[in-house]
Amino acid sequence: MHEKDWPLYPPSFLGILGGGQLGRFFVQAAQDLGYGVCVLDPDPNSPAGQIAQIHLQADYADQEALKTMARRCRAISTEFENVPAKTIDFLIEQGVFVAPDSYAVSIAQNRIKEKQFFQNLLSQTGVGPVLYHVIEEQAHLTNVPQEIFPAILKTSQLGYDGKGQQTVYHLTELLSAWIMLGKVPCVLEKKVDLDFELSALIVRSADDEVHLMPIAQNIHQHGILHLSMVPAPNMSLSIQDQIQRAAQVIIRELHYVGVMCIEFFILKDGTMCVNEIAPRPHNSGHHSLDSCLTSQFEQQVRVLAKLPLGNSKLMSPVVMLNLLGDLWLHGENNDAITAPNWQNVLAMASAKLHLYGKAAPKIGRKMGHINFLDESVEQALKSAHQAMEILGFPTIKE
């Protein structure tokens, strides 16, 4: 492909591997700019497949489908980190511009590689991972440092929303936890005393333009993101500076092109740690759909088309509240499904509701979110709590 062939202008097609809600927002952002979109996802009714011009309903390893996609789209991105590296490489061989590439994705897909990557960069970023120990085989269960407990055992691959994790309070519980997780390669990491959590969305273009989006402060419940607040209420200027520096080092050292999210822990003793990266737009950046001049998804489109990055400055304080399937389910066995009563929430002046078009609500499944835009993040948080009451969220201490 010659440089003169770029940027790619509408009405060309862009491709996205994966048809979940992140893919759906990518489709919307691309279509807003006049592009067509081709989605590859095996699910016949995926959130992104429903609205894309073309939905290839096939497996990610289906070479015929990938060839069709490559003929149609000169640029393709991914919306979830578990796309096989082979798929990405195959598309690149077909002459497609794929961002991010398989190197970056393969590190983010594997907690062991990811932690080692953070550890190796410590002198440049000033931020390391929490104390961890790699367990790839049974022999590695014996030489675990005592100070790591209480700890969390996490599968090296395929974990998300707190899945593939077991808390281990003592060495004696480690073997059974590892068996529970299927004896697969894992990292055991210290369960740290969190003060609060932050995430940084950062974008890098193919010609090394880097743009950091506003940093979010996140609250998780049962390992699933519950809400994000921007500007981050507890973030000092020095933490912000440190994150900005670390994020730029990380994205460049990964040779990453595209939108990525980096999660940070701030511990009670003031220490900062880097937790993980997501090689794609992220749930904690969904506020940007309504709060930023350029959303994380429009940035993803711009990177793919090799257009200049947008300005993602924050236009309004915002709180993003996730809506899980639990809200739809009632009865003793959660077998009665009724849609939440949106009426009173939509009557709130600050609420912007986004639903993902998923047919079946399930416990813990992300069905949608609401962005609350108010004059302060404190006020937006009050609005979010008001909405939680209206929608009948279970009361959980935060």
Q: Kindly state the tokens that stand for 258.
A: 């595209």
CB of 106 to ligand ADP, least distance (A): 16
> Of the listed pieces 64-72, 158-166, 248-256, 317-325, which binds ligand ADP according to CB under 6 A?
158-166
> Helix, strand or coil for residue 92?
helix
CB atoms within 10 A of CB 170: 10
Instruction: Tell me which DSSP letter residue 362 carries.
Output: -
Establish if 152 lies at the interface with ligand ADP (CB under 6 A): yes
**Which CB atom, from 220 or from 382, has the smaller least distance to ligand ADP?**
220
220 binds ligand ADP (CB under 6 A): yes
Q: For the chain, how many helices (H) and strands (E)?
A: 11, 20
Please name the residue ranges forming H helices in 271-350: 288-291, 296-305, 343-346
Count of positions on this chain that bind ligand ADP (CB under 6 A): 17
Specify the stretch interacting with ligand ADP by CB under 6 A; choose among 49-57, 153-161, 281-289, 301-309: 153-161
- Residue 119 CB, shortest distance to ligand ADP, in Å, is 15
Is the Cβ–Cβ distance between 388 and 227 less than 8 Å? no
Looking only at the bridges linking them, the beta strands covering 258-267 and 272-278 are antiparallel
Closest separation in Å from C-beta 235 to ligand ADP: 16
Tokens of 168: 């281990």
- How would you classify the pairing of strands 318-324 and 224-230? antiparallel
Residue 383, φ and ψ in degrees, nearest 5: -60, -40
Picking from 315, 325, 326, the residue whose alpha carbon sits closest to that of residue 352 is 315
Residue whose CB is less far from ligand ADP, 133 or 190: 190
By CB under 6 A, which span of 5-13, 160-168, 241-249, 377-385 interacts with ligand ADP?
160-168
d(C-alpha 166, C-alpha 152), whole Å: 6
Give the x/- contact pattern for ligand ADP in 283-312, rule: CB under 6 A: ------------------------------
CA distance 161 to 139: 29
Q: How far apart are CA 132 and CA 21, in angstroms?
A: 32
Q: Which CB atom, from 81 or from 298, has the smaller least distance to ligand ADP?
A: 81
Nearer to ligand ADP, 264 or 328 (CB): 264
**Site for ligand ADP contains 223 (CB under 6 A):** yes
Give the Cα-Cα-Cα angle 248, 253, 259 (nearest 5 degrees): 55
Of the residues 42, 162, 231, 364, which one makes contact with ligand ADP according to CB under 6 A: 162
Whichever of 50 and 109 has its CB closer to ligand ADP, that residue is 109
Task: State the CB neighbour count (10 A cutoff) for residue 396.
Answer: 10
Q: Which of 41, 81, 114, 263 binds ligand ADP (CB under 6 A)?
A: 263
Is the CB of 1 or the CB of 194 nearer to ligand ADP? 194
Which is nearer to ligand ADP, 159 or 317 (by Cβ)?
A: 159
CB of 130 to ligand ADP, least distance (A): 5
CB of 111 to ligand ADP, least distance (A): 8
Helices 63-72, 85-93: inter-axial angle, 10-degree rounding: 50
Confirm if 377 and 311 have CB atoms less than 8 A apart.
no
160 touches ligand ADP (CB under 6 A) = yes
Helices (H), 208-271: 237-253
Q: Which residue is nearest to ligand ADP (CB)?
A: 220
Q: Closest distance between ligand ADP and the C-beta of residue 302, in Å?
A: 26
CA angle 192, 196, 200 (to 5 degrees): 110
Contact positions with ligand ADP (CB under 6 A) in 181-200: 189-192, 194, 197
Query: Smallest gap, in angstroms, from Cβ of residue 296 to ligand ADP?
Result: 17
For ligand ADP, what does the binding mask look like between residues 120 and 139, x meaning CB under 6 A?
----------x---------
Nearest to 214 by CA among 377, 45, 388, 5: 377
**Positions in the binding site for ligand ADP (CB under 6 A):** 130, 152, 159-162, 189-192, 194, 197, 220, 223, 263, 275-276
